[in-house]
Structure 1
Amino acid sequence: MKNRITELLGVKYPIVQAPMGWIARAQLASAVSNAGGLGIIETSSGRLDEVREEVKKMKTLTDKPWGINVAQAFVRDPDIVQFVADQGVRFVTTSAGDPNRYCEALKSKGLTVFHVVPSLAAALKAIEAGVDGLVVEGGEGGGFKNAREVSTMVLLPLVCSKVKVPVIGAGGIVDGRSMAAAFCLGAEGVQMGTRMVSAAESPVHQNWKDRIVQAAETDTVFLNRFGPGPALRALRTEKTSGFERTPPENIMAEFGHVLDLYFGGDMEASIALSGQVAGRIDEVKPVAQILCETVEEFAAVMAEMGAKYGRAAQPA
């Protein structure tokens, strides 16, 4: 596959792994890069000393392209731009903040910069800031969200109709069919989050993976819509079902025991961020298999649609 995304990222397939805090580290990211996609190392955990160690591991696990995400709301290091530039990557995504904050400085270091956006207004602001591209993330995706969430089906074609930069679609992407849908809506690449959380190489506890596999499409909750603090989408558990009805005063305080959930398997210890595509995942698979099946299905679906409807699109 060749398009602007593969050329900018230097990858075989325009498939990017989402930068989930504590999860998007060397073990998972290297598997994605080695399989032909683009692995991303997170900074949203805020633990840059640990991230440095993960970067060192990454360099021993893959010689393929990979990137780093700068989650502005969680990174307090004033030297983050130099930190990213020193890692030898060519691609960085910025998120959870003003695209003007780091874009110019990152680009001055020779990096390709994409900003994650949840709305058209945010997309246009990022374009004004000079980004090279966008990750357009619909509200069905997991993690921290815009309180006024818009689905990928609406947001992605809207943004793509207004901008000229390459776009990576995110939110609801889990396989080749959803990748094909994103391309039909204007994207040139896709980002997968929940699908990668459930992958064999994901470092999270098996209990979390099992919950994703068992989940129905209705088994996520949208929390904290009215604040204070960020809104977010998570798996439905006893805790999060309660929060859906009665939000805590400080949603971020609920992440104080997040590692007990992520790696200890206590699904009530914290909040398991997850997208609605959990309801479409029925098996834990290795990353290489996920990417291979995605690309094969993508090609088959696009060919099928062309054969079935190509003539219908021709003028009489």
Structure 2
Amino acid sequence: MAIRTRITELLGIEKPIIQAAMGWIARAQLSSAVSNAGGMGIIETSSGELDAVRGEIIKMRMLTDKPFGVNVAQAFVRDPEIIRFVIDQGVKFVTTSAGDPMKYTAMLKDAGLTVFHVVPNLAGALRAVEAGVDGLIVEGGEGGGFKNPKDVSTMVLVPQVVEAVDVPVVAAGGIMDGRTMAAAFALGAEGVLMGTRILSSAESPVHDNWKRAIVEADATDTVFLNRKGPGPALRALRTERTARLAAEGSPNIFGEFADTQRVYFAGDLEAGIALTGQVAGRIHDVKPVAQIFDETMREYEAVTAGLPRG
């Protein structure tokens, strides 16, 4: 089944599914699987390891002939040369996040790139449109990762933004299958972004301990951290460590990521923070990305066909 929306037309993809730009995780092994499955694979920059990112872009071109993009996470990569870096890699699609869309959008657009900005609220969406973005990724507070401390759910935020802007919207937060994609489209979105579902896929490079924790999690097994700052808020898997952080706070939330490699790739979930969305409570198995996407499309068709009609 094919779905044609402004998102698929703009990005040249077969399925209106974009992969979240997860630091250290969204690299060629995983992102090429997303692109080859008909979605939009994204290479991260939030790790700050630009030499490694350059290598991952080269690997992407070896592993797929399908479209892919790069995320520019402004809070983590502050050097303006990141834009020249992305342009020089021949990338055609960029998502910007964790910063002011006014900073880089014009430079990217002048170089001929398609630009989407990630927003957590209506004010951010309006500013991004003013900056000239081609589309928006509208991220509800139930999603994993870094968040606005004044979080709004996807169910409320997506239609609020859709009603206020003319650019196409990608819904993010709580999306993992055809049922949730159908809900996002009913809210006015024209594409969806998946994070936790792809994080737990067979091609994901993270340790099996993290994948198993997601599969075994309930929807209440995440915590919302650092709501009062300093620094950004975030949603993560509930562990003894993150439960303590939720109760006591942290003077330096970024410092809690010092042992990220142990968490992500050695499977020590108590060594730091495993960013995970509430949708973990609906994920019950580890599957290849292509199977996830095929099942999503089939379920979308079944769900929309079965909706009550007057």
**Residue 223 of structure 2 is aligned to residue 228 of structure 1:** no
Query: For 1:135-174, what aligned pairs fall within 5 Å after superposition?
Result: 135-174=137-176
**Aligned partners of 1:65 and 1:89 also within 8 Å:** no
**Residue 264 of structure 2 is aligned to residue 262 of structure 1:** yes
Aligned with 2:61 (options 43, 59, 62): 59
Q: Identify the residue that residue 221 of structure 2 maps to in structure 1.
A: 219
Aligned with 2:180 (options 178, 183, 191): 178
Q: Matched residue of 2:163: which SS?
A: helix
Aligned with 1:127 (options 105, 118, 129): 129
Q: CA deviation at 1:80?
A: 1.2
Q: Identify the residue that residue 32 of structure 1 maps to in structure 2.
A: 34
**Residue 77 of structure 2 is aligned to residue 82 of structure 1:** no
Q: CA deviation at 1:89?
A: 2.3
Q: CA deviation at 1:37?
A: 0.3
Identity of aligned residues (%): 69
Q: CA deviation at 1:79?
A: 1.3
Inter-partner Cα distance in structure 1 for 2:52 and 2:79: 14
Q: Identify the residue that residue 46 of structure 1 maps to in structure 2.
A: 48
Q: Identify the residue that residue 245 of structure 1 maps to in structure 2.
A: 247
TM-score normalised per structure 1: 0.97
Q: CA deviation at 1:88?
A: 2.1
TM-score normalised per structure 2: 0.98
Q: CA deviation at 1:248?
A: 1.4
Q: Which amino acid aligns with 1:83?
A: F
Q: Which amino acid aligns with 2:271?
A: A
Alpha-carbon RMSD across the aligned residues, in angstroms, is 0.6
- Give 5+ residue unaligned stretches, structure 1: none
Q: Identify the residue that residue 275 of structure 1 maps to in structure 2.
A: 277
Inter-partner Cα distance in structure 2 for 1:112 and 1:304: 35
Q: Identify the residue that residue 21 of structure 1 maps to in structure 2.
A: 23
Inter-partner Cα distance in structure 2 for 1:81 and 1:237: 37
Farther off after superposition, 222-231 or 79-88: 79-88
Q: CA deviation at 1:81?
A: 1.2
Q: Deviations over 1:169-203 (max 9, x none)?
A: 00000000000000000000000000011000000
Inter-partner Cα distance in structure 2 for 1:256 and 1:81: 26
Aligned with 1:9 (options 8, 11, 28): 11
Aligned with 1:102 (options 91, 101, 104): 104
Inter-partner Cα distance in structure 1 for 2:227 and 2:14: 38
Q: Deviations over 1:8-39 (max 9, x none)?
A: 00000010000000000000000000000000
Q: Which amino acid aligns with 2:259?
A: H
Aligned with 1:296 (options 268, 282, 298): 298
Q: Matched residue of 2:227: which SS?
A: coil
**Aligned partners of 1:46 and 1:76 also within 8 Å:** no
Q: CA deviation at 1:78?
A: 2.2
Q: Which amino acid aligns with 2:167?
A: V
Q: CA deviation at 1:76?
A: 2.7
Q: Deviations over 1:40-78 (max 9, x none)?
A: 000011111110111111110000000000000000332
Q: Which amino acid aligns with 1:118?
A: P
4+ residue runs over 3 A deviation: none
Q: Which amino acid aligns with 1:240?
A: T
Inter-partner Cα distance in structure 2 for 1:96 and 1:170: 15
- Give 5+ residue unaligned stretches, structure 2: none
Farther off after superposition, 155-164 or 84-93: 84-93
